[in-house]
Amino acid sequence: MIQKTTVAVDSQKIACVFHQADNDSDACIISCHGLLATKDSPKYIFLAEELNRRGLSSIRFDFRGCGESDGRIENSHVTNRLRDLEVVMDYVKDDLGFDKVGLFGSSMGGFISILKATSSSMVKVLVTLSAPYSMTDILDLHFSNSEMFEIDNIVLGTNFIKDLKSRGNLTPKLLKQIHSPTLIFHGNLDGVVPIDHAQRLYRELEIDKRIEIIPGGDHVFSNPFQLHWVIQTSADWFEKYL
């Protein structure tokens, strides 16, 4: 069953799509999209369909300022995205009745998933795609103006950057708090997030972990054969630990 719904956060609505599996599993996978993406990116739909075939439920949602959710993109910074994910996790537990979650995050969504895994015992397994270790390093790499930057005609200014500089970096101390088995995907031709971010993340994690460097892979895994393998391998990982 596929069900569209909304959850409330700070007087705004987050749009969600719940893919319910035909079994009584106590686990649900939550997908977290990247900075300017949405829950309707093919990778999240493909993953939801594959998980359903394996008897696992999942939910995909739009962070505020993106897709069908309320809010403005310039306010959709790290702090607010963590808040959005927290509210969705509460909904998954309190309203849908799942005790365990897996997180699947791409790019900034991967970064947010990692941060959430450092503080939530509900997160039992983690998969990231093209996730940065340091959001501020990515900002400095691609944008020279420290007060604002523009992507696809969308301007992200002072509030976004200020929040990024305070909460946009992982550390070895933070990563020691992750107890969720973690699978890391990264393309060796990623032109947005350099491959050394994935390698550093892998080195500093101290739990059951695996890294897959995709030859010829770009930031979004636009090659359909690569994406198919990534989704299948991600589903294997979730199935193993949930």
Q: How confident is the model at residue 33 (pLDDT cuts 50, 70, 90)?
A: very high
Amino acid 214: pLDDT: 98
Q: Which pLDDT band holds residue 144 (cuts at 50, 70, 90)?
A: low
Q: Is the pLDDT of residue 221 over 80?
A: yes
Angle between helices 78-94 and 108-117 in degrees, nearest 10: 60
- Could you report the per-residue pLDDT of 49-74, keeping only the tens digit for each? 999 999 999 999 999 999 999 998 88
Task: Provide the 10 A C-beta neighbour count for residue 212.
Answer: 16
C-alpha separations of 78 from 33, 112, 160 in Å = 13, 7, 8
Query: In angstroms, rounded to a whole number, what is the distance separating the alpha carbons of residues 97 and 121?
Result: 16
pLDDT at 176 over 70: yes
Mean pLDDT of 201-216: 97
Q: Give the predicted TM-score (pTM) of the model.
A: 0.96
Nearest to 92 by CA among 138, 124, 132: 124
Domains and CATH numbers, the chain: 2-241 (3.40.50.1820)
**Predicted confidence (pLDDT) at residue 14 exceeds the cutoff of 80:** yes
